[in-house]
Structure 1
Amino acid sequence: MPPAPFRARAKALFKKRQLLIWLALASLLVGVTAFGEPLDLSLHTLRNKIRSQPVSGKVVVVGIDDDSLMKVGPWPWNREKLATLTQRLFDNGANRVFIDIFLRSGEPQGDRRLAQVVARYPGRVLVTSGLGNPGTAQAGKFVLPMPEIAKVSETVSELKWLEFWNGVATLTYASSIDGKPHRSMESAIANVSGGVDEKYPIDYSFRVASIPYLSAAHVLSDTNAAVSVKGRDVLIGINSPTTGDMFFVPGQTRSARPFIVVAGAETLLRGRPLVLGWWPGWLLAVGGAACLLYAKRRIWGSAAAFVTLTAVLVGPLLLEANNIFIDVAPAIVLILSAMVAAAWLRFGARKRSQGATNPVSGLPTATAILHGDQLDSGFLVAVRVRHFIDIISALPPDRERELLKQIVTRMTLGTGGAQLLHGDDGNFFWLAPSPEQATVIDQFKALQLIFRTPIQVFDRSFDVDVAFGLDQETHMPLSHRLASALAAAHAASQQGVGWKVHDPATSGAKEWTLSLLGELDQAIQSGQIWVAYQPKLDLATRTFVGAEALVRWTHATRGPINPAEFVEVADRHGRIGKITSFVLEDAAQLVKDARQWVPNFTVSVNISPSQLTNREVIDMVDAVLLRHDIPAESLILEVTESAAMAEEGTAQALLEELREKGVGLSIDDYGTGMSTLEYLRRIPASELKVDRRFASALATNAQDQAVMRSTIELAHALGMKVVVEGIEQAETLYMLAGMGCDIGQGYHIGRPADGTSLLELLEPQKHWAFTG
């Protein structure tokens, strides 16, 4: 047999090898499943900021923006306007014109006019493909534009994959349309070829704001407006959030599709990118982790790990400067995990040994079970010595050891040979080897008889009484069972009985409602409860004028909790005031910050019906307005239709007092209750918020259109503004604007986000996309 030191070293090496294999497999899973994409996105964004650079300026974007839609007319335009725009660009010296608008057959005269203009410039006009009409055989497939245009121009593909962060990370060199390869628009602009469906990453170190830009309205209205396009390629596309797609650009701002196309083309203008994926970094990390775990000297292993980590963090920055792209999330996960594991191997044994033995009784402590935290098929017994602290305090310090010695001697007689563990404050544990509950209960009875005889400690005699707790949940880890057995022993001690068996049905985890209430205060302080803001758009000016504050709870272990769930529980148990106060404070600070860019900015906060029964909400609002020094009109309180129409006079009086102070009042979810004209006349509201269900089918339902139009007219006649929520389509937004609706809210305008993101949206340099 090999000597003990050799066996110990072999065992340590085997453990390290197993650890390295598991770490490598876990990090490999991160790469294969793309779990590391959020980390890689953050690192790419950071590197892009470091490498931030202007575009080459070879491509000019001519945008059909809000200004163009107002001056030229609503979208879609007559094809003659598009033909005039294209001709004007060539008259001013444009090299090529790329039309990033799918051209279906429309009005015959306009189509012929556009086809004539395109035919004058063979090979210099390229148009995008589009999706087939729903309900046809080509639905969901990319198809060619109208035949008149397809015959006289090249069709390029416009395929985009939307990532989880609402942006585009990769593009293709070419796509197949009707079985034939077609260059992508980006490849055509850069004159770089590649395979069908072959992807390459977009280099977002190019600043979107540096792309040369002209409004289509300016080009059409001024013959000299397009002089800057001379000798350049021009990309015509939609640059309006109400009619076109908007994408997130990492580290920059939301941008329309034409700018994403130019960023992709600029990437290719530097040359074909070389994509290495995540394998090279991962293999380097495997080597670094192996050096860290197997190095004979710790300093060598630590140095190897540091060099590896530096390489995977800094290396991609140098590679991307040379048009080489690499992902490093799996490598970072591997090397950091290996560093943590190495630290645990070095210090874990020492940590585990601390507190392993009780210094007075000499018994192993329950720490052994907590460190192992494994499953065991035996019953777990907890013993609680009643009045243990009182007995110990009555003895001189040097006599405690003798008392514990006699307690342990007696208790060992009933453990059936199992190892006795010493807990705190007179608690003991053992794992009962017998699988029969009746046998263990007999042991409890025998031990109670043994402990009826007083314990003699020198010249003093003590009656020592014990209570037992039994846990039978063998499918649970021992760390969980310790608490269960001890809780049963504690219950037996309090109730004056000999033993109790833990019952998970009655003494398991706390009821969910009580858990919510118990964690509410701490969740607010720790930042788990936060406020999201959904922007509100003035439909006449296309500017952001406010937001609705929406409370959110991201629980540390359960993840996002449905707001309706915890708000209802807090309201039912009289805790809604804490949430409302927190939201008002956060909203007031946001208003103060937002008004530096939008002077009339307002924030809406939901008020529970139960808060309209006393003056607490009045005092709360007054304190917030005073503390943050914001005007009363910057705050709008939303109350449900049923609460606003309550018969009780208190609610009516409170609402009137709030309006006299200048605070705005909004009737929320209008249309879901039993409103009458008399109620609307009595409610001192400044705003009527129409429920989202009326916006969902507005574009296709004539009855909903009639109801919406009459509701807007009625609200205006009563001096109230109208807010419609649930706007998810550009067509709905345009229709509401035409009806005279004042303010819109919904996913098409903006999804709820944290306050920082909303303030970034309001900054002047980022606010351009919604003005005009």
Structure 2
Amino acid sequence: MKFAHAFSTFKARLRKPGALVVLLGLSALFTVIEIGNPLELFLRTTRNAVMEKPVSGDIAVVGLDEPALAALGPWPWKSAHLSALTDRLFADGATRVFFTLPLQDQGETSNNLLAETFSRHPGQVYAAATVDYRLGRRKGRDVLPAAALSDEVQTVSMARFVGFWRGVSAVPYRSTIGGKDLESIESALSGVTGKAGERFPINYAFDASSIPYVSAADVLSGHGGSVVRSKDVVIGFNAPGLGEQLAVLGQGHRSPEAVVVVMGAETLKAGKPLNLGWLPGWLLAACAAAYALNAKPLPFRRVALTATALVLLVAPGVLEAFNIFAEAMGGLSLLGMVAVLNLWRRFGARQKKGGTINPVSGLYTTNAIRHDDGQDGRQLVAARIRRYAEVVSALPPEAEKLLIKEIVARLELGAGGAQLYHGDDGNFFWLSNLYDHDLLIEQFMALHVIFRSPIRVQRNAFDVDISFGLDREFNLPLSHRLTSALAAAHAAEQDGTRWRLHDPSLTGQKEWNLSLLGELDEALDKGDIWVAYQPKMDLYSKELIGAEALVRWTHAVRGPVSPVEFVEMAEKHGRIDRLTDFVLNDALKVARSVLADKPDFRISVNISPSLLVSRDILDMVRGALARHEVDPTCLILEITETLAIAQNETPSLLMAEFRAMGIGLSIDDYGTGLSTLEYLRKIPATELKIDRRFTQDICTDKADRAVMRSTIQLAHALGMKAVAEGIETIEVISLLSRMGCDVGQGYYIARPMESKAFLARMAADVAQIRHG
């Protein structure tokens, strides 16, 4: 299923004779950019484990291991120890000695001692030179033996590239280090060399445990003669923290660098390797692919693909016995693409009928997972597109595909090649190929940045927010994990965060929320639910002219409960009408107290859009106004902009009746919802309340400043007052005043407070105005 989306995108092209050309190009591209390297390494590992063989025994390794360090002290050793080790090896019958460790400058006395020792064995001592890439590939530092030793040793190259799998695939025959053309240590050991720039692969089928090995401590104590006699000796690190431990394909462990050097030398001693690369296998697969795409009898196609796959799997192992190396993944990837294409041609229509293909996006739906349910060790990601239904409903039917195409293109940038699944209502899923949790979070952050840019469809631009949910319950079926990941994404959206991990322990949290719902009515009666008031200021006169009523709940056990949490719960479970009635009556009672000294005072109360579907809300407001004997003009109803209100006739009629009564209407959180001129035209609002996200940075952000200025002008052009939320500094107040904004609200002016404190604040403000 890895290439399913690519096939769905190019399905028309793939049904034509050009399908083979497309597949050849894709497979060649994937091979050149080495996407299949991990699988190629797996195949080599399997072959090496099956074809394991002993080394020739002509080369021994002397390890600077823990016993040696315990006997002679920590590295670096004194030159006297290295001199004694060298003399002892030749005394025990070693043919040549190769140092893989650096013999760098240790001072004149030490250098002279080593040089004198090496001079006693002319042409038999080899010292390694390498390149230190710890500062980056472009800042590599040449590491050569001390200059005082250069006349007494043969310098060889230890330069090689360590792959992502922490091992060495191939070694250059020759390298230029410090301006010198040096043959590799493997070439010097084997006597087989090649041209500059030419590389040879290492045959890891040699059993590392069969390499003669002795500790440097044993050599110095006189117990190494039987191991090194008549052999070339490679001296290298074999202790924690010293040298690099490299992966050995097929042997399930890492080995010292000296052991890998011996394997490379054994590869060359068997004859100069012939490296065929990926092209021969790919050409063989291309012939099979051409036959499989055009042969009429289906069984013949299967036979051709299966037989070629077997050849590609077996042939490299047979060839390696003759020191010939070939790669299989280029051909296998092509065969895999052909097999998937044939399955697509055969079962595509049936899958669409079974609901496993989304007809708009061409992606697999979540039904595809449910039809083939099971456990999966990968992390499951859910991406939830906020306001997806609103955006789609605002587009003509034929434009939905363009919207989906833009969304999918952005998701694919960060999904790391994983198969995307298209759920309902703007939900997308994928099984992440990233096993590092931190890398996956970085992926979420990158995708969030990508989705900041508006999506343009038919000359319209839409702001689309995205939230992510993550499920890691690998022991559960994927069908169950889909729900968990989506719930986490929904929770992230509600919290205003970018992502959330599904936590099974939060099941208790859900039960707690349900218990809160059961306590809501009792909390209203006991006074645990109360109303806070946040003053609103006239930005021209700097006078407090109103307030917004904000519902609060202080739970006896849990403490303060987030309004977002219990208000949404009340909306979902039919309690929002009683909660609104409570806030409305408390607000009008407070307003009546203020109106005696401040007749132009206005109190704002939030009304859920879900209440604007019946005339009950009209009766509720009329009853509260009559109960507290206040004029309707003192009340402002704040309504969050939604598509349902703009498209439904009932809310529009109810709002028209409110306006006829003299009640003000405020469009709350402007800029975060639908935000269209059509919406503003249909709503008989008296004020436009601009969301805090456009207020906070207007002093430093040109874009926010431009949005604020144009929104204030728009409000005035439509006969509305402009109200700015989220004011936190005097500089913001000053800039908003210069822009012509009418009213401000925020922590700099005043935080939400209890009714007694609010009434005291208003009384003080009135007294200050009266006394100048």
Tell me the TM-score normalised to structure 2 length: 0.48
Structure with larger Rg: 2
